[in-house]
């Protein structure tokens, strides 16, 4: 019998969409802005995903949570993730996302956050035989010409095996790939992701399965790919402020950035995020990223504190350049690329409420 030897650098397919590597950047609410997705693609992710977008809020954007989902050509292939429990609203939302440029529609059935589950969406959709969930998947599949995928947890309760019923059901109504984060919703992010369940799901369905949860090194990525038979590994928290993790997986060697590289990458991230969110919102939004980036390289502890007191992105840049002066030249070299991104006026904007506190 031929052995299927898979490599992280393989091309693979979700329906008719070609994915250029087996590394997928996880959707993360409050993190997966366009700059994050673009960065992921530049460093080797074959597929990136938006954070979850509320289908329900479509008609009546709540000013407090309202944001814009921007889609630009250079982040493709891009999956846009939507959540909601109403088949018709989900079908309408999916159509809008496809009109805006989504290559894949992903449905969130993993979010454990009460604000989402109390509406019947997120991880609760796997309960009770996942019957309504299957109706949602079917409605979305029938509404759009692009592949539809589902991202789920093992179920709501600890030891739940809902994924084993829901996964094959979703595939039978047309889902073209599944992602499993094998923790219960109740666990949130405690304990470990049990990837023996990922292997089980792989054996139960004919569509590709993506493995999500605790994949924080290239050794782990290889091990999960080999032992579960999954089509791809999905990287979430490990890629926060650390695009070099994706690169190490692609190059199959350790990649340790020096201070200049860290600062140059962070400054680029800052500039792109300011362009996306505006200076005021971006400055607040970016604070958590500073700490994540400054874990790489060798920076004094005081730098992170200093950055948290600064009120504009220009001040943050100056403080970063003071800590790594040669990074200026690197950023200057990136300028042409940054300029080519322009003002973002060519991006498609989806005027949708997006969740800032979600999860999955
Ligand atoms: C801050 C944060 C936000 C998240 N938001 C989403 C989301 O919007 N949609 C989703 O399907 N999963 C979301 N997740 C779950 C991740 O996609 C991923 O499945 C989970 O973090 C496990 O992978 P990891 O161990 O590589 O982080 C989120 C996780 C985190 C940490």
Condensed to tens digits (0 to 9), the pLDDT of residues 273-300 reads: 998 888 888 998 999 999 999 999 999 9
Residue 53: its pLDDT value, please?
87
- Rounded mean pLDDT of 319-331? 96
Which mutation among 23, 24, 25, 27 tests ligand 1's pocket best, with the greatest number of atoms within 8 A of CB?
Answer: 27
111 is catalytic: yes
Mean pLDDT of 242-266: 97
Which string of DSSP letters, residue by residue, matches 219-235? HHHHHHHHHH--SEEEE
| pLDDT tier for residue 64 given thresholds of 50, 70 and 90 | very low
- 183 touches ligand 1 (CB under 6 Å): no
- As given in the structure block, the two tokens for residue 71 are 């889609």
**What pLDDT is attached to residue 357?**
41
As a whole-number percent, the residues of the chain with pLDDT over 70 amount to: 90
Query: What pLDDT does residue 343 have?
Result: 58
Which pLDDT tens digit goes with each residue over 83-136?
999 999 999 989 988 988 899 999 999 999 888 898 899 999 999 899 999 999
Residue 48, pLDDT above cutoff 60: yes
Q: Does the pLDDT value for residue 360 go beyond 70? A: no
Q: How far, in Å, is the centroid of ligand 1 from the Cα of 266?
A: 21
pLDDT of the residue at 346: 62
Residue-level pLDDT at 11:
98
Q: How far apart are CA 128 and CA 118, in angstroms?
A: 15
CA distances from 182 to 155, 190, 281, 283, 357 (A): 8, 12, 34, 34, 21
Average pLDDT over residues 34-45: 96
User: Of the residues 26, 82, 125, 357, which should be mutated to test ligand 1's pocket, given the most ligand atoms within 8 Å of the CB?
Assistant: 26
């Amino acid at each position: 019998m031929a052995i299927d030897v898979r490599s992280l650098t393989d091309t693979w397919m979700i329906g008719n969409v070609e994915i250029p590597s087996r590394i997928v950047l996880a959707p993360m609410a409050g993190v997966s802005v366009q700059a994050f997705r673009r960065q992921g693609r530049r460093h080797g992710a074959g597929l990136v995903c938006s954070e979850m977008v509320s289908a329900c809020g479509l008609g009546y954007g709540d000013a407090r949570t309202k944001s814009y989902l921007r889609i630009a050509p250079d982040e493709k292939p891009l999956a846009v993730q939507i959540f909601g429990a109403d088949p018709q609203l989900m079908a309408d939302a999916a159509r809008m996302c496809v009109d805006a440029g989504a290559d894949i529609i992903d449905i969130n059935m993993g979010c454990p956050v009460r604000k989402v589950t109390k509406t019947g969406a997120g991880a609760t959709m796997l309960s009770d035989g996942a019957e309504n969930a299957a109706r949602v998947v079917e409605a979305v599949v029938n509404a759009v010409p692009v592949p539809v995928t589902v991202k789920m947890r093992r179920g709501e309760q600890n030891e739940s095996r809902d994924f084993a019923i829901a996964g094959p059901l979703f595939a039978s109504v047309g889902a073209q790939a599944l992602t499993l984060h094998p923790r219960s919703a109740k666990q949130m992010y405690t304990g470990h992701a049990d990837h023996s369940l990922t292997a089980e799901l792989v054996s139960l369905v004919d569509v590709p399965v993506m493995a999500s949860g605790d994949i924080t090194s290239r050794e782990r990525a290889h091990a999960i790919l080999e032992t579960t038979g999954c089509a791809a590994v999905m990287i979430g928290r490990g890629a926060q402020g650390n695009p070099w993790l994706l690169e190490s997986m692609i190059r199959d060697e350790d990649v340790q950035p020096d201070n200049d590289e860290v600062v140059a990458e962070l400054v680029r991230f800052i500039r792109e995020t300011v362009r996306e969110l505006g200076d005021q919102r971006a400055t607040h939004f970016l604070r958590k990223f500073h700490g994540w980036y400054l874990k790489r390289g060798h920076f004094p502890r005081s730098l992170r504190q200093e950055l948290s007191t600064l009120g504009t992105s220009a001040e943050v840049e100056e403080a970063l350049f003071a800590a790594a002066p040669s990074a200026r030249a690197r950023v200057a070299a990136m300028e042409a690329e940054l300029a080519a991104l322009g003002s973002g006026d060519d991006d498609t904007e989806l005027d949708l409420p997006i969740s800032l506190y979600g999860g999955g």
